Amino acid sequence: MIAQETPNGILLKELPDFSLPDTLDCGQCFTFYPAERSSPEETQAYEGTAFGRYLRISRNTQGDITLHHVSWEEYEAVWRGYFDLDTDYHKIKEALSQDETLRKATAYAPGIRVLRQDGWEALCSFIISQNNNVKRIQGILSLLCREFGRPLQQGFYSFPTISELKGVAVEDLAPLRSGFRAKYLVDAVQKIAGGEVCLEGLSALPIDEARAELMKIHGVGPKVADCALLYGFHRIECCPMDVWMKRVLSELYPGGFPDCALPYLGIAQQYLFHYARTGDILPQPGKPAKPSGKKKALPVG
């Protein structure tokens, strides 16, 4: 990969293992959106925010990536890490491909990279994600940014920090229409601001302790904790088990995940999750089998 500063921003050349839609639309982050192409040479464009910065990023007909209006300093400080550009995903995919299902999953979306997001943003995002769909998660988080963040560019707002959210009550979150999740968010802010839960150090703690630390928060269970640890603290040994991954495990890996996946289980999970949700890896694509159908009592009448 070659990164160089140009008048337009940062240009990334010879970066084969990176696709904007694969990476930004595979359910790991909620603050980037497809954008209008600004010139015929652009084949894809996204815009969004991370770490208090706005970014417009595009690919051109030659396959090069441009981070628009980004200085070298900002690239080094924010985006190089965010897009995990120092990790060799070709090598990881090669290792995962020893398993036939994983070979298909990595071939299905070869441009997935696991982002290194801000820890609080990841935790907050996946608290909101529970029993929710991606569209509405994006909407709620965008309202959260608008209410409590700082204005950036193009109508985007920064993701609010803990100190910007300190003191919020459930009723302050009413405009978000986040339902029963509002009280979980308030508890997270209170415990982190009050020092009862410490996010610093979660990158280095033994994984069980890190998970337990996050699960002190009301509304954070194993799945949300694992998502926060994987996407916000780059604990790639974490494998968030949602309904799709449970189905992948039971139907394709009844004996457990293959050895070649264990060193990077979280990354393997990202390929499998995306393939299971949008591809044809499972017997009945598009319909996760629920163990039991929910029945609701009919109102009298």
Partner DNA sequence: AGCCAGGGTCTGC
Partner DNA sequence: GCAGACCATGGC
Q: How far apart are CA 42 and CA 275, in angstroms?
A: 26
Neighbours of 44 (CB within 10 A): 16
Question: Which 8-state DSSP code applies to residue 151?
Answer: B
Handedness of CA 26, 222, 124, 89 (dihedral sign): negative
Q: How far apart are CA 114 and CA 81, in angstroms?
A: 11
Among 107, 134, 169, 212, binds DNA (CB under 7 A): 134
Q: Which stretch binds DNA (CB under 7 A): 15-23, 25-33, 46-54, 66-74?
A: 25-33
3-state secondary structure (DSSP) of residue 91: helix
232 binds DNA, rule: CB under 7 A: no
Q: Is 290 a known active-site residue? A: no
Among 31, 101, 129, 158, binds DNA (CB under 7 A): 129
Residue count of the chain, please give it: 301
Q: Tell me which residue of 211, 216, 219, 213 sits closest to 239, measured CA to CA.
A: 211
Among 63, 179, 263, 283, binds DNA (CB under 7 A): 179
Among 62, 133, 200, 256, binds DNA (CB under 7 A): 133
Among 163, 291, 300, 301, binds DNA (CB under 7 A): 291
Q: How far apart are CA 105 and CA 39, in angstroms?
A: 32
Quick one: 62 or 131, whose CB is closer to DNA?
131
Catalytic residue from among 104, 216, 223, 246: 223
135 binds DNA, rule: CB under 7 A: yes
Burial letters 53-78, b for 16+ CB under 10 A, else e: bbbbbbbbeeeebbbbebeeebbeeb
In the range 58-117, which residues lie near DNA by CB under 7 A? Answer: none
282 binds DNA, rule: CB under 7 A: no
Nearest approach, Cβ of residue 95 and DNA (Å): 20
**What dihedral angle (degrees, nearest 10) is formed by the CA atoms of 17, 22, 26, 29?**
80
Nearest approach, Cβ of residue 268 and DNA (Å): 11
Handedness of CA 100, 105, 110, 115 (dihedral sign): negative
Run of H or E including 2: strand 2-6
Quick one: 11 or 241, whose CB is closer to DNA?
241
Nearest approach, Cβ of residue 140 and DNA (Å): 9
In the range 195-224, which residues lie near DNA by CB under 7 A? Answer: 215, 218-224
Q: Which stretch binds DNA (CB under 7 A): 8-16, 54-62, 201-209, 266-274?
A: 266-274
Active site positions, annotated = 223
Per CB under 7 A, residues contacting DNA are 26-28, 126, 129-137, 177-180, 215, 218-225, 227, 240-245, 269-270, 273, 277, 288, 290-297
